[in-house]
Chains A and B, each alone.
Chain A
């Protein structure tokens, strides 16, 4: 079956703007998690959605938010972008009894 897909793959924004990233999980997977990867902090957990409800949240400011739709697709939003938000944003999906599988990521550059 098809893997996790993320769109767009690359994005350039300027400080102060907002951005929305999209993730389509593997068919049948109800859990979607988001991660941020930067050279300085490595891979950090942002949040997880399960059946349209946020189930877990990492230690990120409120500018980072997400949601999940009834078809399990998920979006994350970052408002008032800062230079430090430049990162690879990764989405991962899992079924109830399966391990997590990651998408290719969205590379966000904030100028």
Chain B
């Protein structure tokens, strides 16, 4: 079973920040938080990952709480093309030897509206 809990759906106005929450209260010390998104019927797209520090890349920012039991993915200026299902995943390790197995939950369907 997935170790994360996400709201099933969210709306966001175009141009505004989209804040997608994720709960992972049973996360272990060596588990990272990963975010992927899937636009209708395409393969999931990697967005960002983090261990305990906040992370930012060209797509998004990831804020992880100090106790690591929850996190928030932030899309700073959402566009219509950001409409997708967003998956929050926890997995062991990010380095040599870590496996390719990802356990997906149901994700959050983000609808960006004009």
Contact = CB atoms under 8 A, between A and B. Distances in A.
Interface of A: 4, 31-33, 35, 42-45, 48, 50, 55-56, 58, 88, 90, 92-94, 96-97, 99-105, 107
User: Interface size bucket, B side?
Assistant: 20 to 34
B4 to A, nearest CB: 13
Nearest to A105: B43
A33 B96 contact: no
- Contact residues of A: prevailing secondary structure: strand
Contacts, number: 67
A93 B103 CA distance: 15
B30 interface: no
Interface of B: 34, 36, 41-46, 49, 87, 94-97, 99-107
A92 B100 contact: yes
B101 A99 contact: no
Nearest to A31: B100
Nearest to A101: B46
B46 A103 contact: no
